[in-house]
Structures are given as C-alpha cells and as structure tokens.
C-alpha cells in the first residue's frame, strides 16, 4: 500500500482508506465483533485513513473505533472524524447543522471522549452551517490545531468558493466529497479548487453505495433498514438501465484479473494524476474480504484505453444516489 500526502499537513495516509459509516449505520444490522476484526485487518494491510463522524450511529461509530484503539495501535492510524451534523430527539440526523465558534470545541471534545484518544488527525466540517460564515467555523477549528487536539483540517460537502475562503484562514489538508466513476459533479470546480489550495480529495461513496461492486444493482433482497431502499438509483426501473454500465466496468476488470470495485477505485486514483491532486478514496466495508478487495485496487493501473472506455459512463447513470430531499432543505444547503 503506497502512501499519499494529505495536503501540506505533513500527514501521509494509505492510497485507499476506509469509510466506517456502514459499521454502525445505514446498511442493515450491525456486527461490532465483525467490524472490529475488519479494523484489525485494515491496520495489518496498511489501510490507515479511517473515516467516521460524530453522527454515525449516534456516536456509536466513534465508540467502536475507540474500542479498537484501546488495543494499543492508535498511532498506526490516520483518524478522521467530522462534526456539524445535528440529531433529533430520536437520534436521527436532521440536516440541521452547527458551525458556530462556540460549538466547534464542544463537538471536538465529545468526539475525543467517544474515540478514547487525545487527538484527531484530520478534523472535517461535515457540512457548512448556512447561518455561519465559513471563516468563523474554520477559525474555531484552527484553534484546535493550535491547542494540539487536532493535527489538520478538512472540509466536506463544500463549494469551490468555500474551499478558497477556508484556505485563506487556515491550510486545508483534505476535502471530502462524493466522487466516483458514476458521480462526477465535483470535477468542474471543486477539484480544481482543491488543487489550488493544495488539498487532497477524499472521495466518499467511491463505489456508488455498492453499485460499482457489481453485487447490488437493485435494493431487492437488502435488509429492510438499508438506506438503499430509499435511493432512486436502486429502484427496479433504474436497475435495468444501470446494469449494463456496471457490466462494462466488470469487463474492463476481467481483462486485468480485477473486480469492478477495483476498477472503480483505480479510476479515481488515475484522476488524481489528471487533476494534480492527491486522491484517497474511502470505500466503506464491514467485512475483511471486501476490505482486502478494495485495498488491492492500489496495485491496479488502468490503461489510457481503459480510461477512454469508462469516460462516457457517468452521463448514462439513471437515478439519484441519495434519498429525495424536501425542496426547501435542498435549496438551503445547495443539494438540489
């Protein structure tokens, strides 16, 4: 597993990271014992960037990672967590956010307690608070760096203008956004802004919530609590249209002795070369076998012919990759 620099922070992570959301939320019943084994395997493989957030599983995901850190291998991991999301009285995420200066240190302190550690390596603003200037939020985050409880700063779900504004307050090591072979909306302005700011790009949902693995083209057969039942891309009608696109990815993988997931992740790594930015995808995995498959993508180099064959696929994908949002919420957060 090769290393990738996270901006100018002096921190290096593995080229492929690990998204930990699914271990505690969104994708059916949880299995903490199995997830702990997967975390152990990730460390053994050198998959070092682990991404969580305070709202994942209502704090359960941070506590899960804290249990693993208690085993004594904390220093091997580049720990990323996020703040800003708010929960309702039932523990569900509401899309209400807080980014005011008074809230930032309280959120960090709570995460540190759950994680059982004295530092966060990469602290992300999960989503900007529309009522607060991003300069205020990043200024408060910078104070955590000065205090030594945070090593580097990141942003998530932001615009190019917000990246530039934040970078004017404090160096930004990484920007976490949805980016995959099928979802390429950040390429026009956000990725160039990351290159300008010297920030790495950390793509979330790099496998399209499992669609690009070839294992799931529809929500049929998934647990009733799986969020993909509410995602249009996994509707039966859209599944019929998307299956040939996944098959095209699989065909390229077969020519390399690789899986569709490995092709999708290797494609993202090549985009880093194209745009001149470090790219560290964070595919989610609860099982060691899937983790090992994803980690193997770091050794796959797609040819220029492969890239040309994959180029048109994004524009053909049917269905949105997130549950529908009320129009007023979509407008408020720019998530239309």
Annotated catalytic residues are 56
Which CB contacts under 8 angstroms, 24+ apart, belong to 181-184? 181/208, 181/212, 181/249, 181/263, 181/264, 181/267, 181/268, 181/310, 181/313, 181/314, 182/208, 182/211, 182/212, 182/245, 182/313, 182/314, 182/317, 182/321, 183/208, 183/314, 183/317, 183/321, 184/314
Buried b (16+ CB within 10 A) or exposed e, 44-81: ebbbbbbbbbbbbbbbbbbbbbbebbeeeebeebbbbb
| DSSP bridge partners of 85 | 97
Token pair belonging to 247: 């098959």
For 265, phi and psi rounded to 5 degrees? -75, -40
Which helix (DSSP H) or strand (DSSP E) does residue 260 occupy?
Answer: helix 260-275
* Joined tokens for residue 158: 């932001």
Beta strands 150-156 and 174-178: pairing type?
A: parallel
Q: How many residues does the chain have?
A: 336
**Shortest CA distance to 94 belongs to which of 124, 63, 58?**
58
Measured distance CA(161)–CA(31) in Å, rounded? 40
Helix (H, G, I), strand (E, B) or coil at 134: helix
CB 205 within 8 A of CB 178: yes
């Amino acid at each position: 597993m090769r290393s990738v620099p996270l901006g100018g922070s002096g921190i290096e992570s593995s080229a492929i990271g690990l998204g930990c959301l699914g271990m505690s939320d969104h994708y059916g019943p949880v299995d903490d014992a199995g997830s702990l084994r997967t975390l152990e395997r990730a460390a053994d493989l050198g998959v070092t960037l682990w991404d969580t957030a305070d709202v994942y599983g209502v704090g359960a995901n941070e506590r899960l990672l804290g249990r693993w850190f208690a085993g004594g291998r904390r220093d091997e991991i580049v720990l990323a967590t996020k703040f800003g999301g708010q929960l309702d009285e039932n523990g569900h995420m509401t899309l209400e956010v807080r980014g005011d200066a008074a809230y930032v240190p309280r959120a960090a302190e709570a995460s540190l307690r759950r994680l059982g550690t004295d530092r966060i390596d990469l602290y992300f603003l999960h989503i900007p608070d529309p009522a607060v200037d991003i300069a205020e939020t990043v200024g408060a985050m910078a104070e955590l760096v000065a205090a030594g409880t945070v090593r580097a700063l990141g942003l998530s779900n932001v615009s190019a203008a917000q990246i530039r504004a934040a970078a004017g307050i404090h160096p930004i090591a990484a920007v976490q956004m949805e980016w995959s072979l099928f979802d390429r909306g950040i390429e026009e302005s956000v990725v160039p802004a990351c290159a300008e700011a010297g920030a790495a790009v950390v793509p979330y949902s790099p496998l399209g919530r499992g669609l690009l693995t070839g294992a799931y083209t529809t929500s049929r057969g998934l647990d009733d609590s799986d969020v993909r039942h509410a995602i249009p891309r996994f509707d039966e009608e859209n599944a019929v249209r998307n299956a040939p696109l996944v098959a095209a990815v699989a065909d390229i993988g077969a020519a390399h002795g690789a899986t569709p997931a490995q092709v999708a992740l290797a494609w993202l790594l090549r985009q880093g070369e194209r745009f001149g930015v470090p790219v560290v995808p964070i595919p989610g995995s609860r099982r060691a076998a899937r983790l090992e498959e994803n980690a193997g993508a770091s050794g796959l180099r797609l040819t220029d012919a492969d890239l040309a064959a994959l180029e048109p696929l994004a524009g053909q994908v049917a269905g949105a990759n997130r549950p529908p949002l009320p129009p007023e919420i979509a407008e408020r957060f720019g998530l239309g």
